[in-house]
Amino acid sequence: MSTTQHEGFDLSQIPGLAAQLRVDSIRSSTSAGSGHPTSSMSAVDLLATLMSRHLRYDWDSPEAPGNDHLVFSKGHASPLLYAVYKAAGVVSDQELMNGYRRFDERLEGHPTPVLPWVDVATGSLGQGLPDAVGIALSGKYLEKSPYRVWVLCGDSEMAEGSMWEALDKASHYGLTNLVTIVDVNRLGQRGPTDLGWDLESYQRRVEAFGARAVVIDGHDIAQIDHALAEADGDLDKPLVILAKTVKGKGFSEVEDADGWHGKPLPQDKAEKAIAELGGESNLLVRGPAAPHIDRPEPTVGTASMPTFEKGEGVATRKAYGAALAALGDADPRVVALDGEVSNSTGTGTFVDEHPERFFEMFIAEQQMVAAATGLSTRGHIAFASSFAAFLTRAADFIRMAPVSRVDLRMVGSHAGVEIGADGPSQMGLEDLALFAATQGSTVLYPADGTSTAALVQQMAETSGVSYMRTTRGEYPGLYEAGEEFPLGGSKTLVSSENDDVTLIGAGVTLHEALSAAATLAEQGTRARVIDAYSIKPIDVEGISAAVEATGGRVVVAEDHHAEGGLGAAVLAGLASAPITDLHLAHLAVDGVPGSGTSAELLDWAGIDAAHIASAARSLLEG
């Protein structure tokens, strides 16, 4: 074994480093009994050249603002990434051999930010490059920092549309600080990839999306070095390096051989491969230093939030826009993204007042969520909005946000059948379930302008994934300005000491519940009305107390499918409460709606005031 420190490798030294990275990729995965050594081995020469000569990074200070960023979109090549960390001296050989893919260890099967050198979690293919676009946007437009964002991609994931959304937006925003390296090793999990080694087709596609494509032999160190050096030049387009490589490169028995994807080498083959590669070594390598950058703490003021009069008609989507703009006035960290519907979601107010902190993602919801994820890693408070229905396109990106440990703030407008004549393709009826199922999430559904503004401010201060659902139509204000809306709370709008039934709504159905309560009162029935503006966490204590006070009789109405929404949250909360005699009617949207007025569709779905009142009477008669 050799142990040597190198500062500024020359080309002749890179093969030795590459051999070590290949050996360590094999050793770690064989020791773990699982992993992707062959997928790692194809990209070794690319990473050896990058880390030793081009990656400007202070390994002892991963938070240094001048550091470049390295994103493994090809997250299954984690043996290579961790071998790089060992070569940089930040992961020990012992940890590499005994910590990889083991329970309660930080070298997980796919990279996550539990490691301080990892920005975003990858492994769900098609996400690393889109997330990197957000990091590059921050560097170029917000931080105005000279750091570069290097992304290693696999050729299999180039079949994902999200990768081309990313290149399209990178080109649109002129992200010359973003360098994409595609490891074109021809073989995927079950056989050849879509394009195999057709580098000309890859080049045409990359260029069609407005980026600069450079085709190289991914095992020719001089070619790799020359291509990576283009990032130091005066680029006018994002750079994409298309590297033709061989899967399993370095061990003749598995090179370009099908059937080895995701399989560690058995011990006997591992020993043979290590011998063929020249044995184990412990080179310590650090490339060029990161430039020193001062990133002063932002000056944050106190937001002057918009106020709305009680009884004033306002669409909560418009109140959201006003509240977001007010937050932007006070806090320079607040940024906004939208999916080309900002004039409908309410974000247009922020665009008018803070255009330098707004990023239009057009009709590319996956890229919108990914860019918000990348921006969040750089300390920005990013709000991303679109129609609630369209956010479901980005479900996997939302799912990965907790794995990346990012704060993601999403707002979905035009929810439910309430939107009316646009019809079912525009109606978000699954959004609450999507976000409620996301780990550690917060799900909010305000019913008026005052609660909306208060909850937008709460979102800005809340960690994890938070989601707000807003309505298209205008509804009267229910609360006085200054009312507080704590997360996990609810509001009782109508009550007496002798109520007969509890009505629970959120958003549009809260207004219907209030109308139903008025109708029931005229008929001699006293209804308690609860605003469940916080769907997750739900107000277990407050709702349980109301239901118990009304003899276990409760009607829940929601403009959402029955599964995973408000009703599911209430039932889950009541399941933990000591209510032995529960009589619950759950009114939700069932079936595929059509076009119509809001009133017609609420009636069709059985969630309007008349149906709520009818359900309450049925409970009392039962």
Q: Which residues are catalytic?
A: 365
Distance CA 68, CA 148 (A): 5
**What is the distance of C-alpha 167 from the center of its chain?**
18
By C-alpha distance, which of 413, 452, 441 is closest to 325? 452
- Residue 152 is which amino acid? L
Rounded to 5°, angle at Cα 75 from 70 and 76: 140
CB-hemisphere CA count at 13 Å for 285? 30
DSSP state of 428: B
The secondary element (H helix, E strand) that includes residue 358 is strand 358-360
Structure-token pair, residue 160: 């994902």
Residue appearing with tokens 């240094």: 64
Peptide bond into 332 cis (omega under 30): no
The two tokens of residue 287 are 């490339």
Helix and strand counts by DSSP (H, E) for the chain: 23, 21
Instruction: Report phi then psi at 587, rounded to 5.
Output: -105, 120
Output the CA angle 596-599-556, nearest 5 degrees.
Answer: 120
Q: What's the helix, strand, coil split of the chain in %, to 5?
A: 40, 15, 40
Q: How far apart are CA 123 and CA 350, in angstroms?
A: 34
Helices of type H across 333-422: 342-345, 348-353, 365-377, 388-391, 395-400
Nearest-CA neighbor of 185 among 287, 329, 74? 74
The two most distant CA atoms of the chain are separated, in Å, by 91
557 Cβ contact list (under 8 Å, min separation 6): 503, 504, 505, 509, 512, 513, 587, 588, 607, 611, 612, 615
Cβ neighbours, 10 Å, residue 108:
20
